[in-house]
């Protein structure tokens, strides 16, 4: 396995995902991790990530000395290479020649890391690589024992190697897809240089998780809050495989779900998969709690607290339950435990509702704790969950509660559900669903005038939103075809009585958020 030390690069998790894709288990620790923890992890190799700081300043992070004393291969990427070079006796300077984006590097001589990996061959017979660079500083003097293995126009020292100690440094980012041979270079490092075996596959993960769950919970009962989202669904199926009847899921139908969603969840999990699911029909309670409430944050709080209260009531009824299962995934762990150095300049804001009461006297079982989202999806598919469920767009915890602006009313929710279902159905039909990251309808409780036949209408407005994004922190509105938008507008106005106007949201994030509340 591989240990990644995080210096705050926005790409650190990407490095980890690439290594996992190669089939090798890895974890991310802060660059400030204690020497003992690094040693105890017993890695076959260490990767030092990039980072936003400069090693030319003295207060900036350095790799713990132990990294260079364990006798295992080390790969420094960008800042990771610079700090390695500086710590081992080389020299780094800030350069006015910043390099950002595409660059071509030339491989020098034979290094185990880069040999026979190239995109082109130069007329003189050197290997050339198309890579992604993003740096201001550069290494200007090699540490003793190191050789130059690559250079570019902006970085005469773009790759370094100490073949005896198996220390390597790359100025470019092999983890991003713009570095075309990046995957092969990382594979070369982890499989050949570090000698790891590619055993981290979905079927192995499933097998090991099932065993781990059985060992952990024994013959005790487990309770799980099932939402129908990817993470809790995968947990449900995995636990069902591991412990069968010892698992009880609680599915709270808030009345703020999409069209037929409650029935679909029950059909899938209870009927098709034979999992014990308690459906709590709580629409009335939610509507009562939300009556007269307009403020978005207050609505979120009410919805979240009510979920906890209902889950608590159900858990109390299941007096034999000793374990609470949760769909926590690795990025949650990294963010909340501060495993990451916290030096990344972009910080994701967390707004998950459905946090469970801390006074519940249940032990936690979190089988996805070590997995990235893409790994959870692969597991779900391997476990037999349908692809459209695994690749469904994200749906916020408060559901339609934040897509009905202002006060939530049943009538509004019903209109919104119909409009939303038409939009999503057409996205699938036109093969646009997978081209956008998230798409939904929003209910605007304002009335506008229209005509229909000879009659005048005075009805509500629906806004349609579709965005493209990688990380949901920034997003652009999807440039859906006009003919498609025209079809959506006509269908909604014709088929949803009570709606007389449809608008398309053309706001990017920032400054607008993806949801309207
Ligand atoms: P915003 O609106 O902040 O949304 O641009 C970014 C992503 O987060 C989702 N979102 C939520 N998810 N509880 C959730 O579980 C919430 O309160 C919440 N608010 C927004 C949103 O759907 C989008 O994917």
Helices (H), 291-372: 296-317, 330-337
Over residues 94-106, the pLDDT tens digits come to 987 778 899 999 9
Over residues 350-359, the pLDDT tens digits come to 334 345 555 6
Over residues 13-56, the pLDDT tens digits come to 999 999 999 999 999 999 999 999 999 999 999 999 999 999 99
Has residue 470 been placed in a domain? Answer: yes
Q: What percent of the chain has pLDDT over 70?
A: 95
Known active-site residue 31: no
CATH code (residue 458): 3.30.300.10
Domain end call among 339, 362, 390: 390
Same domain? For 258 and 338 the reply is yes
Has residue 40 been placed in a domain? Answer: yes
Known active-site residue 407: no
Q: Which of 53, 99, 175, 517 is catalytic?
A: 175
Domain end call among 164, 193, 222: 193
Question: How many domains does the chain fold into?
Answer: 3
Has residue 88 been placed in a domain? Answer: yes
Has residue 279 been placed in a domain? Answer: yes
Q: Is 100 exposed, middle or buried (0-12, 13-18, 19+ CB in 10 A)?
A: exposed
Same domain? For 365 and 221 the reply is yes
Known active-site residue 86: no
Has residue 451 been placed in a domain? Answer: yes
Domain end call among 173, 193, 213: 193
Over residues 136-151, the pLDDT tens digits come to 899 999 999 999 999 9
Q: What is the pLDDT of residue 487?
A: 98
Same domain? For 324 and 458 the reply is no
Evaluate if residue 61 carries a pLDDT over 90: yes
Same domain? For 225 and 153 the reply is no
Ligand 1 atom 12, closest CA: 396
Has residue 274 been placed in a domain? Answer: yes
Same domain? For 37 and 117 the reply is yes
Q: Is 131 helix (H, G, I), strand (E, B) or coil?
A: strand
ipTM above 0.90, yes or no: yes
For ligand 1, the distance from its centroid to the CA atom of residue 513, given in whole angstroms, is 8
Neighbour tally for 47: CB within 10 Å: 30
CATH code (residue 208): 3.40.50.620
Same domain? For 471 and 371 the reply is no
Same domain? For 149 and 280 the reply is no
CATH code (residue 82): 3.40.50.880
For ligand 1, the distance from its centroid to the CA atom of residue 175, given in whole angstroms, is 27
Best mutation site among 258, 394, 468 for ligand 1, i.e. most ligand atoms within 8 A of its Cβ? 394
For ligand 1, the distance from its centroid to the CA atom of residue 298, given in whole angstroms, is 15
Q: At 109, is the pLDDT very low, low, confident or very high (cuts 50, 70, 90)? A: confident
Same domain? For 260 and 287 the reply is yes
Has residue 403 been placed in a domain? Answer: no
C-alpha to C-alpha distances, 338 to 144, 332, 335, nearest whole angstrom: 35, 10, 5
Ligand 1 pocket, CB under 6 A: 300, 351-353, 394, 396-398, 438, 472, 509, 513-515
Q: What is the pLDDT of residue 353?
A: 35
How far apart (Å, rounded) are the C-alpha atoms in residues 203 and 112? 31
Same domain? For 424 and 374 the reply is no
Q: Which of 78, 194, 196, 249 is catalytic?
A: 78
Cβ-defined contacts of 485-494 (< 8 Å, 24+): 487/426, 488/422, 488/423, 488/426, 488/464, 491/422, 491/426, 492/418, 492/419, 492/422, 492/423, 492/441, 492/462, 493/450
| Shortest-distance atom of ligand 1 to CA 517 | 2
Same domain? For 169 and 228 the reply is no
Parent domain of 258: 204-390
Has residue 290 been placed in a domain? Answer: yes
Same domain? For 317 and 457 the reply is no
Evaluate if residue 339 carries a pLDDT over 80: no
Same domain? For 359 and 468 the reply is no
């Amino acid at each position: 396995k591989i240990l990644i030390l995080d210096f705050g690069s926005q790409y650190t998790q990407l490095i980890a995902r690439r290594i996992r894709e190669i089939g090798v288990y890895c974890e991310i620790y802060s660059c400030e991790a204690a020497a003992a923890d690094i040693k105890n992890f017993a890695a076959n190799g260490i990767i030092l990530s990039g980072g936003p700081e400069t090693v030319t300043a003295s207060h900036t992070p350095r790799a713990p000395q132990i990294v260079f004393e364990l006798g295992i291969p080390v790969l420094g990427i960008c800042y990771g290479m610079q700090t390695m070079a500086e710590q081992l006796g080389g020299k780094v300077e800030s350069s006015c020649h910043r390099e950002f984006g595409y660059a071509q590097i030339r491989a020098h001589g034979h290094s185990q890391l880069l040999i026979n990996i190239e995109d082109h061959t130069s007329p003189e017979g050197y290997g050339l690589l198309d890579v992604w660079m993003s740096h201001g500083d550069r290494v200007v003097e090699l540490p003793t024992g190191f050789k130059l293995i690559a250079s570019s126009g902006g970085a005469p020292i773009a790759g370094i190697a100490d073949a005896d100690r198996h220390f390597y440094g790359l100025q470019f980012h092999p983890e991003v897809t713009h570095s075309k041979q990046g995957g092969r270079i990382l594979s070369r490092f982890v499989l050949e240089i570090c000698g790891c075996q590619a055993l981290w596959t979905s079927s192995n993960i499933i097998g090991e998780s099932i065993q781990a769950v059985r060992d952990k919970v024994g013959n005790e009962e487990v309770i799980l809050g099932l939402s129908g989202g990817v993470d809790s669904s995968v947990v449900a199926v995995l636990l069902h495989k591991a412990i069968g009847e010892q698992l009880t899921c609680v599915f709270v139908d808030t009345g703020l779900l999409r069209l037929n969603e409650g029935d679909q969840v029950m059909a899938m999990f209870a009927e098709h998969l034979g999992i014990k699911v308690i459906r709590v029909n709580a629409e009335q309670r939610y509507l009562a709690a939300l009556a007269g409430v307009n403020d978005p944050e207050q609505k979120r709080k009410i919805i979240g607290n009510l979920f906890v209260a209902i889950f608590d009531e159900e858990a109390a009824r299941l007096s034999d339950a000793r374990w609470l299962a949760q769909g926590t995934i690795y990025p949650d762990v990294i963010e909340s435990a501060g495993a990451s150095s916290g030096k990344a300049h972009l910080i994701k804001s967390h707004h998950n509702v459905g946090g469970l009461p801390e006074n519940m006297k249940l032990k936690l079982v979190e089988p996805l704790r070590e997995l990235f989202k893409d790994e959870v999806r692969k597991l779900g598919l391997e476990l037999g969950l349908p692809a459209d469920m695994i690749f469904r767009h994200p749906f916020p915890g408060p559901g339609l509660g934040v897509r009905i602006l202002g006060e939530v009313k049943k009538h509004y929710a019903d209109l919104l559900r119909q409009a939303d279902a038409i939009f999503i159905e057409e996205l699938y039909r036109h093969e646009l669903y997978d081209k956008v990251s998230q798409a939904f309808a929003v209910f605007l409780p304002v009335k506008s005038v229209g005509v229909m036949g000879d009659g005048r209408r005075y009805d509500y407005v629906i806004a349609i939103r579709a965005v493209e994004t990688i990380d949901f922190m920034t997003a652009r509105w999807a440039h859906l075809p006009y003919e498609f938008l025209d079809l959506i507008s006509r269908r909604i106005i014709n088929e949803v009585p009570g709606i007389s106007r449809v608008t398309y949201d053309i706001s990017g994030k920032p400054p607008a958020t993806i949801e309207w509340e």
